[in-house]
Every structure is written in C-alpha cells, then in structure tokens.
Amino acid sequence: MSKPSVDMLAYSLSVYLRLNDVPFVEILRARMAIEPVLVRDSARFGSDEDFDEMERSIDRLEKSGGDSEVVYKENRAFHNAIARAASNPVLELFWSTISILASGEGAGLKYTERNLSHIIGAHRRILEACRKRDPEAAHRLMVDHLGELDVLLRTRFKDRLDEPTRITHKESGKLV
C-alpha cells in the first residue's frame, strides 16, 4: 500500500468543500489562522538550515524578474520552509493542503513589481525574526504579511471570494 500524497488530500478536501458550498474566502481564513502559528513555532524550533532554506528562497524570489511561475514557486517554497521548521507534522500537513487550495495561481492572481517588493520585504522581516528566535515578532509580521495579501485579494478578486471552492485537479502532472 502506498502513502497518500498531499495532492490527494487537497483534491479530496476541495471536493468536500465544493459539495458543501464552502466559499474560497473560508480557505483564506484557515490560512490566516494556521500560518501565524507555524511561523511562531518556526522561530522557536527551526534550525539554522531551515532559516538558510528560507533565505535561499527569498534570494531566488528577488532574482525572479517578476516571472509569475517563479514567484509562485518561491513564495510557496518560503512558506513551506516555515511549515517544516515549525516541527509540527500535523500543522505542516494542514498547511500543505491549504496552500494548494489557497494559491492565487488558480485564480489567476498576478503580482506587480510593487507587490513582489512587499512580499520580499515581508519575507526578509519574518526570516530575521525567526533567526533572532523572536516568536512573537515572527507571528506579528506574518499576520501583517497575510493582511496585505487579504487586502490584495479583496481588492482584485472581491467578486470571487464568495464563490464555492474550486475542485483541484491534475493538469499535465501538476495540481491546479
């Protein structure tokens, strides 16, 4: 018997949420509940290697040239590194599943240069708080970062937030 993948869990959850008319905005609320806890624990329990991984992701994001695919990949890599560094496999699994469902990628969200600059700055400040082992600052900075995303989504996609959750599916081996 093979282990189920996070993609399978995300698909199953997306079907459940769609069939129960759970709007997309609720996934975003779940993300906003989980990530500050993850980053707080990341500051407490993360290793230097975890923080180095976050920094490499930020560096790649800076060099992305605004390429949407790279921005999505590196943004996800940074947040996944936080989830791993928190050393809580249950919350990491929740995050991995939610991150697939809450990605702006599926909604067609494009980041401007200004958005990208804000993301990079937020990631650097969060990383700095983690390296300083300051869980409360890391938590506050993540809440601020997610608040910026919330404003962006509510501004650009306000008409889609109350739509039912989209069912994720695989397209050419990639979950979308």
- 85: CB partners within 8 A, 6+ apart: 41, 42, 45, 46, 47, 50, 51, 54, 130
Residues 65-123 have pLDDT tens digits of: 988 889 988 999 999 999 999 999 999 999 999 888 876 555 566 778 898 999 999 99
Q: Which DSSP symbol is given to 166?
A: P
For the entire predicted model, the pTM comes to 0.86
Residues 148-158 have pLDDT tens digits of: 888 877 787 77
Residues 50-66 have pLDDT tens digits of: 999 999 999 999 999 98
Handedness of CA 19, 20, 26, 31 (dihedral sign): negative
